[in-house]
Amino acid sequence: MREIWVATVFALALAGTHPAAAQAPKPDNAPGGTATAASLLAPNPQDRVLGKADAPITIVEYASLSCSHCARFADAVLPKLKEKWIDTGKAKLILRDFPLDEPALRAAMVARCAPPERFYTVIDGFFRAQSEWAAERSKLKGVAVILGIKSQQFDTCLNDKALEDQVAQSRLTAAQQLGVNSTPTFFINGKKYEGEPTIEAFEQLLSGLAAKS
């Protein structure tokens, strides 16, 4: 039954999806009504928040750990975003799982088995080593061990069916109820932006929001 569930999720939510490759985010309104979208995007107990919980600007990123565009965002944009906006308490980031394939699903599970305070460190490590494990799942464990995940913990994590459901459901909910169909996709204070944004595009967006607050 487990294999059928995962296969169903990927059949419903992964078909026709591909990483976006835009140079700046493209705004789009999330379907389903503002109230529904707001409820779905509100921080929940499963979220790992980067930054202060009460930061006025909330950036929700739907990402796949096997997505090269997501990896470039993590490497080239996020450090600058973190320095100016997140570390200063102006904005917070919530990364949510939107696995594009099975290796990304497994990597996301492992990251969520790490202590909450190490979640983004592990995520960053997986992005940096993406070329090593994304095309060859057998190497995922070696990368995880280097990132501080013990071998037994890794095995236990991948056998956690409730966690598998959680990661798969994150993708399914985003696809069916928020209209997410590519990675990375961002929701900034509830407004949807698709594509691989530059730091300049983020600066313009966040500065505009900060000026209104």
Number of folded domains in the chain? 1
Which regions of the chain are under pLDDT 50?
A: 1-5, 8, 12-35
**Which of 87, 91, 62 shows the shortest CA–CA distance to 207?**
91
Q: Is residue 80 part of a domain?
A: yes
CATH number for the domain harbouring residue 111: 3.40.30.10
Q: Is residue 52 part of a domain?
A: yes
Tokens matching residue 127:
């992005």
Q: Which domain holds residue 116?
A: 20-208
For the chain, count helices (H), then strands (E): 11, 6
Q: Is residue 213 part of a domain?
A: no
> For residue 196, what pLDDT is reported?
76
> For residue 163, what pLDDT is reported?
97
> CA-based Rg of the chain, rounded to a whole angstrom?
16
> For residue 197, what pLDDT is reported?
80
> For residue 199, what pLDDT is reported?
93
Q: In what order do the strands lie in the sheet with 191-194?
A: 26-28, 191-194, 185-188, 57-63, 91-97, 49-50
pLDDT digits (tens, 9 = 90+) for 117-126: 999 999 999 9
Number of C-beta neighbours around residue 200 at 10 A? 11
Q: Is residue 3 part of a domain?
A: no
Give the strand pairing for 57-63 and 191-194.
Answer: unpaired
Q: Is residue 2 part of a domain?
A: no
pLDDT digits (tens, 9 = 90+) for 156-168: 999 999 999 999 9
> For residue 6, what pLDDT is reported?
52
Give the 3-state secondary structure percentages of the chain, helix then strand then coil, rounded to 5.
55, 15, 30
